[in-house]
Amino acid sequence: MPSIVSRSLRANLGTPPLVFDWSLDFFEREQTALACAYWQSLRKNELLPARSDLVPSEMRKFMAHVGLIEFQERGCGVEYSIRLAGSQWEAVFGSMKGRTLREFLPPDIEARWRDAFEPVRIQARPARVTTQIAFASKRWLDSEMFIAPLSDDGLNVSMLLMCFASWKRDSGRTAI
């Protein structure tokens, strides 16, 4: 059963909730379903796949939707940065490759992204996350994400893989 992170863990009032589905039983978008299947195919003996396991040519059908998120633990928390951002991410959020979240997102949206990343990073397990976009007045977009941990040693999370799809709410099937 999906769980809701209501209005963000950091009390971003007025933003739509993030809905986490840890079962991975259903995906609305083809790209996120393909990313999930691909990530699962890379697991060996229940170990987490590594970034080096990712082969872009095998991700061709969903590569424009893929992003890689790096993080560094700091004294006062975790700093997330975007290592790779597919064209579908940048069509919605603008240029972000090589930037930390705070460098391209307003504080309330940065907190929202952290709220999407933190449970996956901490629990070291993948999730389907759905929400309404709350960025730059684009509330007419719905989104589905597959967020999954990557690991250098198979156990400890070292990076996140995310597949992001968005579409106009009333059209249902047109990816943006």
pLDDT value at residue 108: 80
Predicted local distance difference test score (pLDDT) of residue 131: 85
Provide the whole-model pTM. 0.86
Instruction: For the chain of 176 residues, list the mean pLDDT of each consecutive stretch of 10.
Output: 46 72 95 97 93 96 95 85 87 82 85 92 96 62 91 94 85 48
Closest by CA to 82, choosing from 107, 109, 103, is: 103
Residue with tokens 């047109």, as numbered in its chain: 174
Q: How far is CA 61 from the centre of its chain?
A: 17
Domain spans of the chain, in order of start: 3-168
Question: In this predicted structure, what is the pLDDT of residue 16?
Answer: 76
Spatial CA neighbour of 101 closest among 134, 79, 123: 79
Residue 47: its pLDDT value, please? 93
What pLDDT, on the 0 to 100 scale, is given for residue 6? 38
pLDDT value of residue 175: 47
pLDDT at residue number 11: 45
Scanning 52-138, the segments in alpha helix (DSSP H) are: 87-93, 101-104, 107-123
Given this model, what pLDDT does residue 12 score?
A: 46
Burial of 122 (0-12, 13-18, 19+ CB in 10 A): exposed
pLDDT at 7: 40
Residue 114: predicted pLDDT: 92
Superfamily of domain 3-168, CATH level 4: PAS domain (3.30.450.20)
Phi, psi of 109 (to 5 degrees): -80, -35
